[in-house]
Structure 1
Amino acid sequence: MMEGNSTAGSFSSLQQFSIADLVVIVAYFALNIAVGIWSSCRVNRNTVSGYFLAGRDMVWWPIGASLFASSEGAGLFIGLAGTGAAGGIAVAGFEWNATYALLALAWVFVPVYVSAGVVTMPEYLQKRFGGERIRMYLSGLSLLLSIFTKISTDLYSGALFVQVCLGWDLYLSTVLMLLVTALYTIAGGLAAVIYTDTLQTLVMVIGAVALAVRAFNEIGGYSNLEEAYLKAVPAKIIPNTTCHLPRADAMHLFRDPVSGDLPWTGMTFGLCVMATWYWCTDQVIVQRSLSAKSLNHAKAGSILASYLKMLPLFIIIMPGMISRVLYPDAVACVDPQECERVCGAAVGCSNIAYPKLVVELMPSGLRGLMVAVMMAALMSSLTSVFNSSSTLFTMDIWRRLRPAAGERELLLVGRAVTVALVALSVVWIPILQSSGGGQLYVYIQAVTSCLAPPVTAVFLLAVFWPRATEQ
């Protein structure tokens, strides 16, 4: 199945990495492993608090970096750039909306969670409402979301990037990246995850800025982007259709509430619901803030992450649009046979916008840096989800099944859950290849928009309405 969907053939002439590229990639992995080992030694990993909450001793700057890195996985690099290439800058609303939600997390929600003395979000709901059903339901829902919208999409997008750049088989790329990621997550716990996230944030920002500068120089600066984007049409089109044309409102952040693909009403009001769910109630994010040594450090970390979330429009989305301008026949293809030839997906090839830009524009050495950037994005997101999902299962489900379980057993179960999540996520990857109209970010948001609102409503009632009960 994978042979027929390979993208390698379309980029075969561009996949000759130099020694400098390989040195950069190897150096990144070596540094990443060193940071993981160092951070693992700083915290006692033989206790539940040490393994799942990093001993509650984290300072603000690694917390802020980890909050950013956890949300900017390979899925968002590929997905944001692809959606930008397909439809313009409005998708930046998903990133900018996070700035307000992050402040709400630190000033409103974290103090409540800390005062409740909880490790997981389902545990908070049980303490708040007094019943077991809601805790079990939310734990199960969170694990499903982790598999279908987080782990699997990051695996697919990261493997897609490596496949485009190196020509490796999609599943081979997936397995190799999983081995490195899962090993230090299983061994080091949350402390290793947060400190390696900090390194990966630095690598991501430096690499993405370098690529953005190169892309803007190639196109002649921002002033030329709007005009050139509206003319970025593939040579092979479908007669009597307009699907090959860029959107006329591509440079509008706020779009028509009726005809817009991302209407301003939904981006303003509806998105607040999803942002509250992700940034204020999701285990992956909240767990980082709960590891802070004090509320002041949690607040400072959220402020740092808020500033970092302003960057993706300029370093991910706009470069994706530039990729369409420079390579319209590949990135903007609409003919199913042509798209199948280019990227192996008949529904469209906008997902290759970012890796295509890297392969074509970056010189020797910097190309290796960008592969390291995508690996950093993938690994930072995966480690976060692995650790948080194992925390949910161990603390909320296993402890209910085995009330007498000791700390050693809980730690072993947490590590075993990570392995199981990896296997389940790999199975889901083929389905992603044919989902979302070729826009990975659309797939992620389509799933979460269905499941996030009820969870958000429950948490808002729990925090703001004392009279709310489980009934």
Structure 2
Amino acid sequence: MESGTSSPQPPQSDLLDVFPQKGLEPGDIVVLVLYFLFVLAVGLWSTVKTKRDTVKGYFLAGGDMVWWPGLFSVLMLAWIFLPIYIAGQVDMYAGAIFIQQSLHLDLYLAIVGLLAITAVYTVAGGLAAVIYTDALQTLIMLIGALTLMGYSFAAVGGMEGLKEKYFLALASNRSENSSCGLPREDAFHIFRDPLTSDLPWPGVLFGMSIPSLWYWCTDQVIVQRTLAAKNLSHAKGGALMAAYLKVLPLFIMVFPGMVSRILFPDQVACADPEICRKICSNPSGCSDIAYPKLVLELLPTGLRGLMMAVMVAALMSSLTSIFNSASTIFTMDLWNHLRPRASEKELMIVGRVFVLLLVLVSILWIPVIQASQGGQLFIYIQSISSYLQPPVAVVFIMGCFWKRTNEKGAFWGLISGLLLGLVRLVLDFIYVEPRCDQPDERPVLVKSIHYLYFSMILSTVTLITVSTVSWFTEPPSKEMVSHLTWFTRHDPVVQKEQAPPAAPLSLALSQNGMPEASSSSRVQFEMVQENMSKTHSCDMTPKQSKVVKAILWLCGIQDKGKEELPARPEPVIVSLEENPLVKTLLDVNLIFCVSCAIFIWGYFA
């Protein structure tokens, strides 16, 4: 029976129209290729511009980055943990969905192509290349996403049209006797029912804030950028820029995704498992294709290629950051501990090889994510974060704000919290959430406790463990917590007596393969070694082929000869002082930014 209402109906798409209907045209391919070449040029330019032949230059961009590329910086300076593998693998899968479908390439072929471009300037340039290309790609992403937002709202009649048509966007093949595939009544609300909703408001307010605190305040990917800033004010400026950009995702990502359901309900909102499998190869649902579907169907030629570049930019930006940060942690914290006398050349090589290993792990993890994310990639990301990140965040907070926290308390807090989180993670992999039309026979621990509530439970268990163990064990000395907590950050600097300059000479002799000697004999022995090895050094240099030299240059390893001794490390000057005018300006922006966030939360609550 036809409805007599005159309200606009969303356009209907062909039932089994295999995603996507449109692909990239020659004009789009040209835009995409030009973008790739431009990004590679920027990345390789940064490898020449910046100092990358030292550990600090490669992993911290020489500690001389200005504030404007630090678009993804955070408000606090610290780091502690390494669960970045999952994030890298998730980003890889998300990008592969778009690339596979738009170019009709095999999933793994698309991934290998992306990794080849990403790895070139990450391995070659270090953090400097990552930051400069991130700054470029942020601009590209903003332009493309804002353009698509304009097209999306124009297609549905603005915000009012979105609110009206969204609840009418139903798949034509949906069973009338089933609630599967229906839009949620609270779709436009942030705070939802605490018991029956998909995102209960206590979990959003508290449970989600804990993993968020971990990511923005302790994750190496973010913190490494603040450590590369020139000073504290530059780091704050980058954090504020990131905070302003964080206002945009609601408008450039969430709302366009809802528009995609309105325009293509049979694909994006499919409810029948068999039809969903034919559309997007996932019987659980096809909500993951909402954004790329919108790009390929709505935008004209040229702009479609630009948005393809935007999607690839988002993927490459995340991957380069993750690869460089993971390499930093492995090289400086693990390898340096196993081989404390390792030379800078060895550390540089190890860091780059580890990036290549991460590339391999990322590819191998794709099928796991594809099988377990259940049609909603965001849910997969948040649930994994809620199981692994709260213990680290709690230990970090306790260490910063309670001077009584000690090593044993932190250790047992992490052990108890991570073991509990891993148990829930394994149960989630074993007992997959059933589809809408199937009974839920999962254990109570998995079925009844939302992952955001589990995040709160995990945080409480970790907090109790850290507090109890720290209280009943020996407290750390004042020297151990000096400058390492909020209350001791301004402690006076105690100058430690430095040994004579034998350490640099010892390192040089070690690199030359010579035996150890006393401090005085080291100086004399080095002088003899220098004079005797000049001819030998000249004989060895021509034997390096051009290919070997090119590889060494690409890795930032320069043969400086034996006549140059490693320079004595300059004393590190750490200052928390800020220009009063700049500090006031930053504080005002902080208050304004927080006010904007509170307003948006209140408006959509």
Corresponding residue for residue 43 of structure 2: 36
Tell whether the 8 Å contact from 1:333 to 1:339 is kept in structure 2 after alignment: yes
Aligned residue among 248, 261, 264 for 1:327: 264
Q: For 1:238 and 1:49, locate their aligned partners in 2 and report how far apart those are by CA, in whole Å.
A: 61
**Mapping of residues 205-224 of structure 1, within 5 Å:** 205-224=142-161
Aligned residue among 10, 13, 16 for 2:18: 10
Tell whether the 8 Å contact from 2:59 to 2:324 is kept in structure 1 after alignment: yes
Corresponding residue for residue 45 of structure 1: 52
3-state SS of 1:62 partner:
coil
Corresponding residue for residue 390 of structure 2: 453
1:428 Cα offset (Å): 0.9
Tell me the amino acid that sits aligned with residue 225 of structure 1. Answer: L
Runs of 4+ in 1 over 4 A off after TM superposition: none
3-state SS of 1:345 partner:
coil
**Mapping of residues 9-408 of structure 1, within 5 Å:** 10-11=18-19, 13-15=21-23, 17-64=24-71, 66-67=72-73, 102-103=74-75, 105=76, 110=77, 113=78, 121-122=79-80, 138=81, 142=82, 145-148=83-86, 150-238=87-175, 240-408=177-345
1:240 Cα offset (Å): 3.4
Tell me the amino acid that sits aligned with residue 195 of structure 1. Answer: Y
- Superposed CA deviations along residues 383-439 of structure 1, whole A, max 9, x for unmatched, are 000000000110111111111111110110000001111111111101111222200
Tell me the amino acid that sits aligned with residue 318 of structure 2. Answer: S
- Superposed CA deviations along residues 130-162 of structure 1, whole A, max 9, x for unmatched, are xxxxxxxx4xxx1xx3222x1111111111101
Tell me the amino acid that sits aligned with residue 298 of structure 2. Answer: L
Gaps of 5+ in 2: 1-15, 409-605
1:333 Cα offset (Å): 0.7
1:42 Cα offset (Å): 2.1
3-state SS of 2:389 partner:
helix
Tell whether the 8 Å contact from 2:27 to 2:305 is kept in structure 1 after alignment: yes
Aligned residue among 411, 414, 421 for 2:358: 421
Note closer, same or farther for the CA distance 1:13–1:278 as it changes in structure 2 (3 Å cut). Answer: closer
TM-score by length of 1: 0.81
Q: For 2:173 and 2:144, locate their aligned partners in 1 and report how far apart those are by CA, in whole Å.
A: 33
The count of aligned residue pairs is: 393
Tell whether the 8 Å contact from 1:204 to 1:377 is kept in structure 2 after alignment: yes
- Superposed CA deviations along residues 3-59 of structure 1, whole A, max 9, x for unmatched, are xxxxx98146412x3332122111111110111122122221011110000001111
Note closer, same or farther for the CA distance 1:443–1:12 as it changes in structure 2 (3 Å cut). Answer: closer
Q: For 1:61 and 1:352, locate their aligned partners in 2 and report how far apart those are by CA, in whole Å.
A: 33
Q: For 1:346 and 1:427, locate their aligned partners in 2 and report how far apart those are by CA, in whole Å.
A: 22
1:239 Cα offset (Å): 5.7
Tell me the amino acid that sits aligned with residue 270 of structure 1. Answer: G
Of 283-292 and 159-168, more deviation after overlay is shown by 159-168
Matched, 1:430 2:348: no
Q: For 2:319 and 2:20, locate their aligned partners in 1 and report how far apart those are by CA, in whole Å.
A: 29
Corresponding residue for residue 125 of structure 1: none
Q: For 1:305 and 1:241, locate their aligned partners in 2 and report how far apart those are by CA, in whole Å.
A: 43
Tell me the amino acid that sits aligned with residue 64 of structure 2. Answer: D
Tell me the amino acid that sits aligned with residue 249 of structure 1. Answer: D
Q: For 1:156 and 1:10, locate their aligned partners in 2 and report how far apart those are by CA, in whole Å.
A: 20
Tell whether the 8 Å contact from 1:323 to 1:353 is kept in structure 2 after alignment: yes
Q: For 2:176 and 2:356, locate their aligned partners in 1 and report how far apart those are by CA, in whole Å.
A: 49
Q: For 1:221 and 1:381, locate their aligned partners in 2 and report how far apart those are by CA, in whole Å.
A: 31
1:259 Cα offset (Å): 2.1
- Superposed CA deviations along residues 286-329 of structure 1, whole A, max 9, x for unmatched, are 00010000000000100000000100100011000000011010
- Superposed CA deviations along residues 324-362 of structure 1, whole A, max 9, x for unmatched, are 011010001111100000000111100000010011001
Q: For 1:12 and 1:376, locate their aligned partners in 2 and report how far apart those are by CA, in whole Å.
A: 21
Tell me the amino acid that sits aligned with residue 175 of structure 1. Answer: V
Q: For 1:348 and 1:19, locate their aligned partners in 2 and report how far apart those are by CA, in whole Å.
A: 31
Identity level (%): 54
Gaps of 5+ in 1: 1-7, 68-101, 114-120, 123-137
Tell whether the 8 Å contact from 1:12 to 1:167 is kept in structure 2 after alignment: no
3-state SS of 1:437 partner:
coil
Tell me the amino acid that sits aligned with residue 279 of structure 1. Answer: W
Matched, 1:443 2:380: yes
Q: For 1:49 and 1:217, locate their aligned partners in 2 and report how far apart those are by CA, in whole Å.
A: 49
Tell whether the 8 Å contact from 1:394 to 1:410 is kept in structure 2 after alignment: yes
Which of the two has greater helix per residue?
1
Tell whether the 8 Å contact from 2:46 to 2:128 is kept in structure 1 after alignment: yes
- Superposed CA deviations along residues 354-384 of structure 1, whole A, max 9, x for unmatched, are 0100110010000000100011000000000
TM-score by length of 2: 0.64
Tell whether the 8 Å contact from 2:20 to 2:293 is kept in structure 1 after alignment: no
Tell whether the 8 Å contact from 1:347 to 1:434 is kept in structure 2 after alignment: no
Tell whether the 8 Å contact from 2:21 to 2:297 is kept in structure 1 after alignment: no
3-state SS of 2:208 partner:
helix
User: RMSD between aligned alpha carbons?
Assistant: 1.4
